[in-house]
Amino acid sequence: MTPPKSNGLSSRDTPAFVPGRHCAQLSESIQRAADALLNHAYVVCLTGAGMSVESGIRPFRGPGGVWTEHGEPPLDDYRRFVSDPVAYWKRLLNPVGHLRELHASLDKAHPHEGYLALVELERVGAIKYIITQNIDGLHRKAGSRKVAEIHGNCEMLRCVSCGTRFERHEVDTSVLPPTCVVCGGIVKDDVVVFGEPIPEDVGLVCAEQTEFADCMLLVGTSAYVYPAAGLPQQVKAQGGALIEVGPHPTEITQMCDIVVRGTAATALPQLAQEVASRMAARMSESAVNRKTYDS
């Protein structure tokens, strides 16, 4: 996981809102987004820290961001793990400062209405897969089935040699660093830290789903950290459409076809509602057509 090679544009340079191109009214943008979800064959949703803000977990960047307050973290976390896994584990088991705050908010967090809206959009087939940069596991807790956690899951551990994942209670951490019962390798938390390669299995799923996608719904991501930030660019490069949901402009706003300036917990339920009513209208229309045709 690495920060961006600058595209020369920062969200400050991105015009907040271009009337006419980006629908002024939230409801109008929701309607356009609903159309786009229904008129594309394979929509993949990419979520970021903004998706969890209304579940009590702070974002990293933008207003109220952890890194906004404390500055971006050192980018060599993984190198430090490799050079001294015992020290890494001691920090993990006795978190201080914003790591402690993050752990506390992760323990208390529950999925909000926006998560349930994504479950519904998956159920009706309007979205095919969720790629999340979040480590909080809230999409699965909400009931989403097709989920790829590109930055790992805070409740899991992973062997850095064979890639086997374990639930926390399955690994003995009384001796540090813990070792893998499958291959004897060193076990780390499953969370992907700066400088760490994305685990091969989840990386393949994300690459495959992005290749399939003809539309990407971006929710609560600043599109700042790679390789995740490269996925919507790939969808765009392969001729697909981009829909952005979030209260503030981001690194990728300019590339987006539709921008919904609302929060995850407010905009996503409206979007799911709009999709549901359009699908119902389409169903009754085709029922009428069929009746006319049969008569």
Sequence-distant contacts of 208-212: CB under 8 A, at least 24 apart: 209/44, 209/128, 209/129, 209/131, 209/148, 210/44, 210/131, 210/234, 210/235, 211/238, 212/42, 212/44, 212/128
> CB nearest ligand APR: which residue?
50
Residue 131: CB minimum distance to ligand APR, A: 11
Q: Which stretch in 163-171, 230-238, 244-252, 275-283 sits in contact with ligand APR by CB under 6 A?
A: 244-252
User: Does residue 78 touch ligand APR according to CB under 6 A?
Assistant: no
Q: Is 278 in the site for ligand APR (CB under 6 A)?
A: no
Handedness of CA 259, 150, 195, 172 (dihedral sign): positive
Judged by CB under 6 A, which of 22, 32, 61, 188 binds ligand APR?
61
Report the nearest approach of ligand APR to the CB of residue 2 (Å): 10
Long-range residue pairs from 143-149, CB within 8 A, at least 24 positions apart, any chain: 143/116, 143/119, 144/115, 144/118, 144/119, 146/122, 148/202, 148/205, 148/206, 148/209, 149/202
Q: Which of 29, 153, 210, 250 binds ligand APR (CB under 6 A)?
A: 250
| Closest to 222 measured CA to CA, from 282, 133, 143 | 133
Find the binding residues for ligand APR in span 4-33 (CB under 6 A): none
| Residue of 22, 40, 151, 169 marked catalytic | 151
- Closest by CA to 245, choosing from 216, 220, 210, 226, is 220
Q: Does 220 bind ligand APR (CB under 6 A)?
A: yes
151 is known as an active-site residue: yes
263 binds ligand APR, rule: CB under 6 A: yes
Q: How far is the CB of 293 from ligand APR (least distance, A)?
A: 44
* Residue nearer to ligand APR on the CB measure, 209 or 221: 221
Catalytic residue numbers? 151
